[in-house]
């Protein structure tokens, strides 16, 4: 179940005008494995199901969520708080890119400052009537993601891996982090598992066999989805049109979220 006991003392208060029912953190061992893609397509899938959905982009040093939804304007606010940006289909989004004057300037902050910014996304942003918030976590299993975890009342975690990584180590580290925080892991999404040849339909395992099933089993976890390398998906993300993706590849993940973390 995802009503785990969370360390109340570590969690900052939500903005008084906000309401968020469930918070799902999306984690990965390193950058570039598709954590943001999984976060955004999962949020789109939940939004299509009719849930009020939000994305908190906590990947402060590599924020890619706004761009994938084609959002370039800055956030507005008043004395009560900051308003998230809204995507075309109505997903609420907050990211450091909506606050910085120049979205191409790199953020070189240290861990505590990053965690402080994420805390403010929770305390100062007006999240109105959100059923599911998906948090694109900072990559890795070190200090920064751990501090961010301690700043938000996360109800469940999804681990994103790709076959190029030292997956068993990453999964074990994520399990340890989840145990420290007392947060259940909903399962693993393997990204870039294979490439389906558009001409012959044959599936090629570019990075070899992944062993994700064994690793999941060993850690008592479920593999919720295996996504192919899909150039058309990358194109949509680049064009800021991730909301137009086709296919049911996130359906099983969405189902896991809505059944385990019932609102």
Q: Rule CB under 6 A: which residues touch ligand ADP?
A: 28, 31-37, 62, 64, 139, 191-192, 227, 229-231, 233-234, 237
Beta bridge partners of 81: 78
Question: How many contiguous H segments (helices) and E segments (strands) does the chain have?
Answer: 8, 12
Least separation in angstroms between residue 138's CB and ligand ADP is: 10
Q: Which is nearer to ligand ADP, 15 or 97 (CB)?
A: 97
Q: Which is nearer to ligand ADP, 15 or 95 (CB)?
A: 95
Can you read off the two tokens belonging to residue 54? 């939000």
Least separation in angstroms between residue 12's CB and ligand ADP is: 25
Q: Do residues 55 and 133 make contact, with C-beta atoms less than 8 angstroms apart?
A: yes
CA–CA distance, 155 with 133 (Å, rounded to integer): 10
Task: Count Cα atoms within 13 angstroms, Cβ side, for 216.
Answer: 20
Least separation in angstroms between residue 28's CB and ligand ADP is: 5
Q: Which is nearer to ligand ADP, 55 or 152 (CB)?
A: 55
Least separation in angstroms between residue 126's CB and ligand ADP is: 26
Q: Do residues 254 and 46 make contact, with C-beta atoms less than 8 angstroms apart?
A: yes
Q: Which residues are annotated as a binding site for ATP?
A: 29-36
DSSP calls for 171-199: HHHHHHHHHHHT--EEEEEE-S--EE-TT
Can you read off the two tokens belonging to residue 167? 């997956």
Least separation in angstroms between residue 164's CB and ligand ADP is: 12
Q: Do residues 178 and 38 make contact, with C-beta atoms less than 8 angstroms apart?
A: no
Token look-up 């948090």 returns 135
Q: Which residues are annotated as a binding site?
A: 29-36
Q: Which is nearer to ligand ADP, 32 or 240 (CB)?
A: 32
Q: Which is nearer to ligand ADP, 12 or 103 (CB)?
A: 103
């Amino acid at each position: 179940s995802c009503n785990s006991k969370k360390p109340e003392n570590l969690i900052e208060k939500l903005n008084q005008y906000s309401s968020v029912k469930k918070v799902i953190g999306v984690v990965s061992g390193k950058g570039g494995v598709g954590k943001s893609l999984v976060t955004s397509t999962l949020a789109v899938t939940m939004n299509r199901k009719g849930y009020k959905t939000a994305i908190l982009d906590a990947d402060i040093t590599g924020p890619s969520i706004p761009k994938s939804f084609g959002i370039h304007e800055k956030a507005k606010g008043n004395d009560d708080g900051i308003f998230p940006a809204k995507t075309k289909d109505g997903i609420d989004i907050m990211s450091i890119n909506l606050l910085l004057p120049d979205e191409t300037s790199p953020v070189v902050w240290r861990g505590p400052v990053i965690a402080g910014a994420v805390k403010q996304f929770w305390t100062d942003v007006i999240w109105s009537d959100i059923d599911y918030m998906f948090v694109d976590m900072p990559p890795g299993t070190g200090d920064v993601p751990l501090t961010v975890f301690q700043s938000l009342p996360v109800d469940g975690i999804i681990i994103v891996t790709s076959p190029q990584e030292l997956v068993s180590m990453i999964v074990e580290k994520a399990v340890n982090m989840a145990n420290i925080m007392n947060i259940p892991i909903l399962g693993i999404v393997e990204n870039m598992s294979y490439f389906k040849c558009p001409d012959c339909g044959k599936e090629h395992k570019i990075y070899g066999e992944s062993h994700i099933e064994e690793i999941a089993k060993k850690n008592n976890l479920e593999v919720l989805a295996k996504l192919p390398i899909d150039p058309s998906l990358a194109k949509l993300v680049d064009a800021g049109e991730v909301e137009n993706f086709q296919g049911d590849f996130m359906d099983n993940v969405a189902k896991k979220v809505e059944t385990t973390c019932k609102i």
